Structure formats: structure tokens, C-alpha cells
Amino acid sequence: MVAEVYAGLRNGLLTAKAETTGLKPAANEVWGVMMEIGYSKAIASLVAVADGTVSLYFSNGGGIIGLGPHPGPQCVGKELIVLAQQFVARQAHY
């Protein structure tokens, strides 16, 4: 069973345009990443956005929103976006 709040948050990010978040990325610039992990009774979605947003959503409706201001999650969120950008850059060479 997937909680409505989880589905709404997840869908909101997957359908968002960078401009609606106040970002103006260059072409092929990564501005957000979602990493999902499936468990037997739930899904966990880690979200990092270039504006500093870092959140963790759980499909049962729980989650931790607003981790970005904290140094640890903020650093890891930025690193995740940098790593994703490296994959985009490599993909362009193929």
C-alpha cells in the first residue's frame, strides 16, 4: 500500500520543471536526483535538489523533509548531484 502523500511528493518531483523550483540549469545539467530503495514492506526515496533540498520519503507515508540545512545531508546531497552529472557527461560521449 502506497500512501497518498508519498505518491504526491514523488510524482511532484518526477514531473517538476527546474524553473518551478527557481533553478535555471544549463542544457544537460543535473538539477535533481531521486534514488529509490525497495524493501519488502516499503520503498524509501532519497531526494536531492540543486537548491539544497534533501529529503527522505517512505511509501508508507513517513519521511524526513527538509534535511538540506543540516551539514551532513547537505554535503551528501551536493555530492549525489555531482556524481549524477558525471554520468550525464559520460553518456554524452557514447
**Quick one: cell of 90?**
559520460
- At 45-93, the pLDDT tens digits run 999 999 999 999 999 999 999 999 999 999 999 999 999 999 988 776 6
Query: Are 46 and 40 spatial neighbours (Cβ–Cβ below 8 Å)?
Result: no
9 pLDDT band (50/70/90 cuts)? very high
Any idea what the Cα angle at residue 57 is, between residues 53 and 62, rounded to 5°?
A: 125
Calculate the alpha carbon distances from 66 to 25, 26, 40, 60, 74 in Å.
22, 25, 26, 18, 10
